[in-house]
A and B are shown apart, each in its own frame.
Chain A
Amino acid sequence: MSPGNARIEAEPENSRVPTLLWLAWRFLPPLDRRDRRVLGCVALACAYLAVPLTIGLAADHVPGVTLLSLLCLSAPALPLWWWSAVPLGARRRETALALRQARINTRSAAATSISRQLAYPALGAIIGTVLILGLHRPLAHALPRHAPLETALRHSEGHWLSAAAIAVVVLVALTAALSSERSAELYARFRRFTARLDRREAAPQPQ
């Protein structure tokens, strides 16, 4: 068979959908150890952040002190979230570029390459929300009365499922924002700034 007889004249639009879905599926598994670490970290950060976010969204009334405690509870996961979201976005952009070079239009390339950027934060967020859905009652009982979180947990009957769904959507959307090019620039600038501080500290002191 000669390769020459393959000239393609017609490209039916609907024939591309299964291929694009297959590509999106193929992009999901991590490629190497570094990739695995990044994807694990983004899922872990989203799982952790889903807990305070769901509590905050489910509560009927969030007093200032409760809000502050929820923010404090979220703080440890924020650096990990940013650190892992930046390479996730870089990888998505690389994939989209490779897809465009393989004769896929810009919109389809963006939609196909986003699969892992949706899947891992969503998976982490779902795990986090399932955990808090199962544990919010025991937690409300375990916490001392008048504790800031106890107030939020106690006044939250009936809103948990919708709060969990919103929390997943919010975390996926915020991960996408954190993995944007602008965020990557900010992250690089921040890293340069901290590296400069480190060097300054390490400089030999005058005698």
Chain B
Amino acid sequence: MEPRHPLGQHGRVSLPSDNPVLNAVGLKFPADGSVLRGAHLAVGEREAVAVLGEAGSGKSALLALLCGMLEPASGSLWANGRPLHALPAEQRQSFFRRQFGVLPQDCRILPELTVAENVALPLRLAGMRAKQAIERSRIWLERFEIEDYASSLAAGLTKPVLRRAALARALVADPVVLLADEPLLGLAVQTAEATARILRSIAVSHGTAVVVFTRDPMTAAYFSRTVKLTGGRTDAQPASPPPVAVPLLAPGGEGAGAQLGLPLGPAR
């Protein structure tokens, strides 16, 4: 049943999954912990989780750490059973590219391409033939109920359509983890409900761990579990058994805000 009232969700205790696909333990950024100081997040297969936090609570930093844009000063990150914190930088980036889908808040769609071509782009870059990639992208466009725009140039389409197209693009390569920053921002209530329903159903049908970052309790209420992020700390407990925290390379410390200002997907 669809969650209708956000308050009911807030009272729920955040429980880590037993077998997390994504497991972040004690992430700290930068070295002095001024942005994040010990964030835990465990998301299981087929789970759709919302990370709820006010502006400045460290959501963007957590998202950037989880998708490999930034490196934590300390803490550990496991994804799909692999200790990402222990991998060399190149392997880690390669893993993020293949296994993670990211929807930044400031998502961009290429206006020169049609919506279907935009969605098919990750598949084409992975070596799939154009026709096959377009066919597969149409399946995702149908799921997000924007198949009517498949052949339209992205230039001139409304933001809600482009946002759903960006979601379809993030999911078309069937990532293990989807990280979405405010995916329902700017959508009408009905469209937001439908999109949230699709995200939850994708989590179940594809086994994708969906993590939505938001500051809106109404948005968080659409998802099965809410993890609160306050002052750089999550209210979640580290998943058991907790991996040993391995200190990583110090990312430089200063200028985190400036780095986070870049709404980029994971760099290849």
Contacts and interface: CB of A to CB of B under 8 A. Distances in A.
Interface of A: 1, 3-12, 15-16, 19, 23, 26-27, 29, 31-32, 94-95, 97-106, 108
A15 B102 contact: no
B267 A8 contact: no
Contact of B174 (A3, A15, A94): A3
B83 interface: no
B126 interface: yes
Contact of A104 (B102, B125, B139, B143): B125
A101 B166 contact: yes
Contacts, number: 103
Interface residues of B, number: 42
Given A11-B127, A16-B125, A19-B125, A104 B205 contact: no
Contacts of B155: 31-32
A97 B263 CA distance: 8
* Chain A, interface SS category: helix
Contacts of B175: 7
Contact of B97 (A3, A27, A95, A103): A103
Interface in B222-268: 263-268
Contacts of B127: 10-12, 15-16
A90 B104 CA distance: 20
A103 B122 contact: yes
A11 B174 CA distance: 14
Contact of B108 (A16, A101, A105): A101
Contact of B123 (A4, A8, A97): A8
Contacts of A101: 102, 104, 107-108, 166, 169, 263-265
Contacts of A15: 125-127
B121 interface: yes
A102 B121 CA distance: 7
A102 B118 contact: yes
A101 B102 CA distance: 8
Contact of B98 (A3, A8, A23, A29): A8
Interface of B: 97-98, 102, 104, 107-113, 118, 121-127, 135-136, 139-140, 143, 153, 155, 166, 169, 171-176, 205-206, 263-268
A64 B105 CA distance: 56
A8 B101 CA distance: 12
Contacts of A7: 173-176
B126 A11 contact: yes
A108 B268 contact: yes
Of the listed residues B169, B175, B267, the one surrounded by the most CB atoms of chain A closer than 10 A to its CB is B267
A11 B263 CA distance: 24
Given A3-B136, A4-B174, A104-B268, A95 B110 contact: yes
B267 A106 contact: yes
A185 B118 CA distance: 31
A108 B268 CA distance: 9
Contacts of A29: 112
A108 B112 CA distance: 18
Contacts of A3: 136, 139-140, 143, 171-172, 174, 206
Nearest to A105: B268
